Amino acid sequence: MNQRERMLAGLPYIPGRDGLQELYDACHQKIFRYNALSPDAEERDGLLRSILGKCGRIVTIMGPFYCDYGFNIEVGERFFANYNFTVLDVAKVSIGDNVLCAPNVSIYTASHPLHPESRNSGYECGISVSIGDNVWIGGNVVINPGVTVGDNAVIGAGSVVTRDIPDNMVAAGNPCRVLRAVSEADRDFYFKDRRFDVDDYREPWWERSRTDAAEA
């Protein structure tokens, strides 16, 4: 098993060998071009799709965006990441549908041995991260290697997520901890105790867009 195969298998590996440096460099050339493009550049979407391993039809990542390899990142439909989205994707990062990331969200799959002699050997590893559907991740959140964030979860700004977050939970803090469940009562509020003053908030925006287009 070569070093690339070991990396993808979650085993300790030596970076830069067996084609890994070439893959890393190629990704960073694309990232450099992507971050330098005008927001309305026609090639922006195509270049992003050539970086990511898999993505849905509607995907937006605001620049600057940073990752190691790109091909280990899979995102679903209607994914949005704000400025300074950083993904160390030496292992698989799987993100579901309808996920929102605020500015400065970082997802780390890369890790190093704790013991200095083992660490100085040059070996590192990657442990995959999974994020479910309908997740909202607040600004300056760090998601550490091996974490799973469940469907419909909300991660408060500034959190450092070191353990799995179950479905339908609001979690925050450093280290991040579950605060409470997301309930049906939350549906009618757009911020804390502020109720919606419109009637169409229960309809997904992409469905509403189809309705508006049909009526135009």
Residue 105 has pLDDT above 60, yes or no: yes
> If pLDDT is split at 50, 70 and 90, which confidence band does 41 have?
confident
pLDDT at 200: 80
pLDDT at 216: 56
Full-model pTM = 0.90
- Nearest-5° angle of CA 199, CA 205, CA 211? 80
pLDDT at 100: 98
Q: 157-214, pLDDT tens digit by residue?
A: 999 999 999 999 999 999 999 989 999 888 888 788 888 877 888 888 888 766 555 5
* 105, 120, 140 from 75: Cα distances, Å: 15, 34, 20
pLDDT at 206: 82
Q: 136-161, pLDDT tens digit by residue?
A: 999 999 999 999 999 999 999 999 99
pLDDT at 191: 80
Mean pLDDT of the chain: 92
CATH architecture of structural domain 3-215: 3 Solenoid (2.160)
4, exposed or middle or buried, with CB in 10 Å at 0-12, 13-18, 19+? middle
Query: What are the phi and psi torsion angles at 40 (to 5°)?
Result: -105, 15
Q: Map residue 17 onto helix, strand or coil.
A: coil
Q: 50-61, pLDDT tens digit by residue?
A: 999 999 999 999
> If pLDDT is split at 50, 70 and 90, which confidence band does 129 have?
very high
pLDDT at 208: 75
A 10 A CB-CB count for 80 gives: 16
More confident residue, 216 or 191: 191
Percent of the chain with pLDDT strictly greater than 70: 96
Domain boundaries, the chain: 3-215
Report the catalytic residues: 112
Q: 3-24, pLDDT tens digit by residue?
A: 999 999 999 998 989 999 999 9
More confident residue, 117 or 109: 109
